[in-house]
């Protein structure tokens, strides 16, 4: 399996031996997450600081996995 970072939220383009290539973005930045949830960007930053929303670790920018956003919405 080969993993390469792409422009789309700097996440994952996977090439598996016999399957087709998929380059769908699996994370959202703060601005996009705020738009999706209908809140302001500062609210997203607060949720991340309070560990209500989990972000990808070790990055300068806050990137939130789409699965994490679904988990948050289901928990509300």
Instruction: Give the separation between CA 67 and CA 20, rounded to whole angstroms.
Output: 22
In total, the chain counts a number of residues equal to: 76
Instruction: Give the separation between CA 22 and CA 14, rounded to whole angstroms.
Output: 6
Residue identified by tokens 């998929």 is 22
Tell me: the pLDDT tens digits for 52-75? Answer: 999 999 989 999 999 999 999 999
Backbone angles phi, psi at 64, to 5 degrees: -115, 125
Cα atoms in the 13 Å half-sphere on the side-chain side of 16: 5
CATH topology of domain 2-75: Multidrug-efflux Transporter Regulator; Chain: A; Domain 2 (1.10.1660)
Instruction: Give the separation between CA 34 and CA 49, rounded to whole angstroms.
Output: 15
pLDDT of amino acid 24: 80
pLDDT band of residue 19 (cuts 50, 70, 90) is very low
């Amino acid at each position: 399996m080969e993993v390469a970072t792409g422009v789309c939220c700097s996440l994952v383009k996977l090439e598996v031996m016999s399957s087709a290539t998929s380059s769908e973005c699996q994370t959202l930045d703060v601005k996009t997450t705020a738009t999706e949830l209908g809140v302001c960007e500062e609210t997203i930053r607060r949720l991340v600081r309070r560990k209500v929303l989990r972000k990808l670790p070790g990055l300068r920018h806050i990137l939130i996995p789409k699965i994490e956003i679904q988990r948050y919405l289901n928990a509300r």
